[in-house]
Every structure is written in C-alpha cells, then in structure tokens.
A = this chain, B = another copy of it.
Amino acid sequence: MSSTFGKNIHISIFGQSHSDSIGVVIDGLPAGHRIDLEKLGQFMSRRAPGRDEFSTQRSESDMPEILSGLKAGILCGAPLAAVIKNTDARPGDYSEVADKPRPGHADFTAQMKYHGAQDFSGGGHFSGRITAPLCIAGGIMLQLLEEEGIRVGAHISEIAGVQDIPFDPVSVSEEDILRVRKSAFPVNDIEAGEIMKSAISAAKIAGDSVGGIVECAAIGLPAGVGSPMFEGMENMIACALFAVPAVKGVEFGSGFAGSRSMGSVNNDPFTYAEGRIMTLTNNHGGILGGISSGMPLIFRAAIKPTPSISIEQDTVSYSKKENAKISTKGRHDPCIVPRAVPCVVSAAAIAIYDALLGSGIYR
C-alpha cells in the first residue's frame, strides 16, 4: 500500500523507471466533470525531462494515455486509469548499481527491504520518473480545484542558497500563480533566477549537483476545510509531499523561522475585511488546527541536491564485501528543483482536493 494515497479519493501509482509502463489509477473522482487532456499534457510537460540544458536528456513524451474512467472526455464515475509507456528505457546504463549502492539514493535501503528482488534499473519504483503518474493525478486535481475557484502554484524559492522573492502570504494572487506556471524556470525574481541558473551550470560542469526549496501557494480554498489531529491539511500535504523523492523537509507559513519569533508577532490578528474574516498577516500559512482559514495556504519544501553526480564517491560492493568507488553515469539533472515544482504542486493539489471532498463543502 506504499504507493496509494487518499481518504476520499484514492490514488494508486505503479511503475518502475524501466518497466513497460508507469501510471496511476484514481478512484473516487466525481462523475460529470470534463478533463481537458491537452491542458493535462501541458502540465505534464513541466515535469518532463529533456526540456532544457539542465535536465536529463532522457526523452519521453510523458503524455498519459487514458485507459478508463472517461466517457467522451467526461469523468464517468469509474476509476480513471492512465499510463505512460517507457519508450526510452535503457536498462544497460544502470548495471553497476546492482552491486554498489549510490550514495544518497534508495539503492541500499531497497536492497535491505527487498533482498535483491527489487528492480534496480534506473532506481526502479524509487526513480524520480515515478513522479510522472503523481503529476497525472495532480494535473487532474488541479483542473477539478480550478472549477471550485481554487488555484495551486509554486515557484523556485531557493537554489544553491540563492533566494527568490517569496509569494506575499497575504495577497498572493491568481496572476502570481499563473505567471509562475508559464515559466520553465518559475521564479518571481528573474535576476535571482539567472544566478540560480549559473549555480546549476557550475555544478554541472563540476559533475556535482545543487538542491533548493520550492514554495507553494493555494488560493481560493474556503475556510473550514481539513480536520484536527492526524487528518489536518498539514498532515495530509506532508504525507503526499514526502512521496516526491528528494523532499527532506516541509514548513507551513512562518515554519522554522516562526519558531524563533514571539507569540505576539507570530499570531495573526483577525479582522473583518472584504466582507469576511481574514488575518492581517499569514504566519499560520492558511492552516490553524489542521483546518483552512481561508487565507492563502503557503508551504515550502526542501529538496536535497540530486544524489546522482558524476564525481567519484565512496560506497561499498555487496559482492566483494568491501569499500568501493562509484561515479554515477547516465542521464541526470544537476538540479532537480525546477522539475520538482509541478510534483510539489501535484502533491498539494491531491491532498487539498481530497480534503475538500471530505469537507462536505464541495459538491
């Protein structure tokens, strides 16, 4: 059940980096809504490899084929299944990994769990490629959320320590979200973006990699969605988010910085504004007690540097039972952060839509 998610919708993801196909089954989608497959394809392309100089040269169209669940483009109430063929799989590239676990990868832990039965080609089910079905689900949820007036978007908040201008937590707008959605390298501060790109280029030349932070915002979410304790918005978003490989941290609202603040500063005063109750600041990131406040939902996800680097690293050889060296060849991104953006959005969209269905607000 490791690859299933959801309380009110149910997502089941399958596939390995080099299996015949990868895909997802989504059960519980409400009947009667149109899914725009072209728009879904556009969203998928934001995660697809081979788009720019920084991403892996593996070329896959990543356009999902819908096997079931749609009737003339409309959700028919039956589970929606979508698959992507793995057309450019090259199992030969990865043979060394079977014996020598790559530092920072799941190779070793998979070996411990599956005792050698795991599909180690390209990382198998642990591959970043498996975020493509996550994005299919995410892309569909985004369309359904949009029907409800809810927009979810994200930008690169940091790469290699270079910071973008954050979303305004109180007034982030649909325009802000649509603007970053269009960009292949979504930043609010173009200049910062250029410095980030330089850092990625430098890492690439050095055979190294860099990480970063993605900031995500959801607007239009009504107040009252979510639940206390284990099914809060934070719990569910975090649970979905850590399915994206390389995510190692998440913070909502003022997060870690807020923990260094005073209550009198971090508390967000309530006020009547625009005919409803709002907060003047948004250190709570739109969530109090696990439930949405109606303010923008804001969180940040820490993405570790891509573990696959061509610099030689220390590892072990299982067969020789001794220390060894490894230099990861094959097609790898010196920075996964830009491609992680739609994955983070997808994880958020899935968790938010699931909570919305559970809230009884949505029809």
Q: List residues of A whose CB falls within 8 A of some B CB.
A: 1-10, 12-16, 19-23, 25, 27-28, 30-32, 65-69, 71, 74-81, 83, 101, 103-106, 108-110, 112-119, 124-126, 130, 158, 160-161, 203, 208-213, 222-232, 234-236, 238-243, 245, 247-256, 258-272, 277, 279-280, 283-285, 287-294, 302-309, 311, 313-316, 321-323, 359-360, 363
Find the B residue at minimum CB distance from A28: B1
Q: How far is the CB of A251 from chain B (nearest CB, A)?
A: 3
Contact indicator B78/A125 (Cβ below 8 Å): yes
Please give, as numbers and ranges, the residues of chain B lying within 8 Å of A106 by CB-CB distance: 228, 288-291
Can you list 29 A-B contacts (CB < 8 A)? A1-B231, A14-B67, A14-B81, A16-B68, A19-B68, A32-B116, A32-B117, A77-B113, A78-B118, A103-B279, A104-B268, A108-B293, A109-B226, A112-B293, A160-B260, A211-B258, A211-B259, A211-B261, A232-B243, A234-B242, A235-B242, A248-B259, A263-B309, A265-B305, A266-B304, A266-B305, A269-B313, A360-B360, A360-B363
- Which listed residue (B78, B114, B211, B238) contacts A15, Cβ 8 A? B78
Please give, as numbers and ranges, the residues of chain B lying within 8 Å of A234 by CB-CB distance: 242, 247-248
Q: How far is the CB of A84 from chain B (nearest CB, A)?
A: 10
- Which listed residue (B112, B225, B272, B322) contacts A316, Cβ 8 A? B272
- Which listed residue (B109, B305, B315) contacts A291, Cβ 8 A? B109
- Which listed residue (B23, B71, B232, B266) contacts A242, Cβ 8 A? B232
Among the interface residues A69, A101, A229, A285, which one has the most CB atoms of the partner chain B within 10 A? A229
In whole angstroms, what is the CA distance A62 to B112 when docked?
36
Please give, as numbers and ranges, the residues of chain B lying within 8 Å of A67 by CB-CB distance: 14-15, 19-23, 83
Q: How far is the CB of A80 from chain B (nearest CB, A)?
A: 7
Please give, as numbers and ranges, the residues of chain B lying within 8 Å of A30 by CB-CB distance: 360
Contact indicator A316/B228 (Cβ below 8 Å): no
Find the B residue at minimum CB distance from A255: B249
Contact indicator A210/B263 (Cβ below 8 Å): yes
